[in-house]
Amino acid sequence: MSSFSVPGNVLGLVARQMLCAVCGIGMVLFALSAWAAQPSAIFTHSGSSLEKILQQGYAHAHQLHPVAEGPGNKPAVVVFFDPLCVLGAQEWQTLQPYRQQLHILWVPVGTVKPQSLAYGAKILSATEPLEALAQQEEQLSKTGPSEKPAGPTPQVASYWLAVLYANTQYWRRSFGVLPLLLYPSRQGIRAVYGKIGAEQMHDIVQTVLSEKTTSPSHRVGGK
Sheet with 103-108: list strands edge to edge.
4-5, 188-193, 180-185, 76-81, 103-108, 67-69
> Which pLDDT score is estimated for 18?
36
> Shortest CA distance to 6 belongs to which of 194, 187, 172, 188?
194
Q: Which residues contact 58 (CB under 8 A, 6 or more apart)?
A: 76, 78, 182, 184, 189, 220
For residue 21, pLDDT beyond 60: no
> Which pLDDT score is estimated for 33?
34
Percent of the chain clearing pLDDT 70 (strictly above): 74
Q: Cα separation of 4 and 190, whole Å?
A: 6
For residue 129, pLDDT beyond 50: yes
For residue 34, pLDDT beyond 60: no
pLDDT-derived band of residue 60, with 50, 70 and 90 as boundaries?
very high
Domains of the chain: 7-212 (3.40.30.10)
How many Å is the maximal CA-CA distance in the chain? 46
> Which pLDDT score is estimated for 223?
46
For residue 92, pLDDT beyond 50: yes
pLDDT-derived band of residue 130, with 50, 70 and 90 as boundaries?
very high
> Which pLDDT score is estimated for 142?
84
Q: What is the mean pLDDT of the chain?
A: 81
Region 98-122: mean pLDDT is 96
> Which pLDDT score is estimated for 134?
98
For residue 191, pLDDT beyond 80: yes
Q: Cα separation of 167 and 37, whole Å?
A: 21
Are 180 and 79 spatial neighbours (Cβ–Cβ below 8 Å)? yes
> Which pLDDT score is estimated for 183?
97
Helix ranges, 6-46 (H): 10-17, 32-37
Secondary structure of the chain: what % helix, strand, coil (to 5)?
A: 50, 15, 40
**CA contacts within 13 A on the Cβ side of 186:** 5
> Which pLDDT score is estimated for 220?
60
> Which pLDDT score is estimated for 144?
72
**CA contacts within 13 A on the Cβ side of 5:** 17
For 41, which DSSP code? G
For residue 28, pLDDT beyond 90: no
> Which pLDDT score is estimated for 29?
34
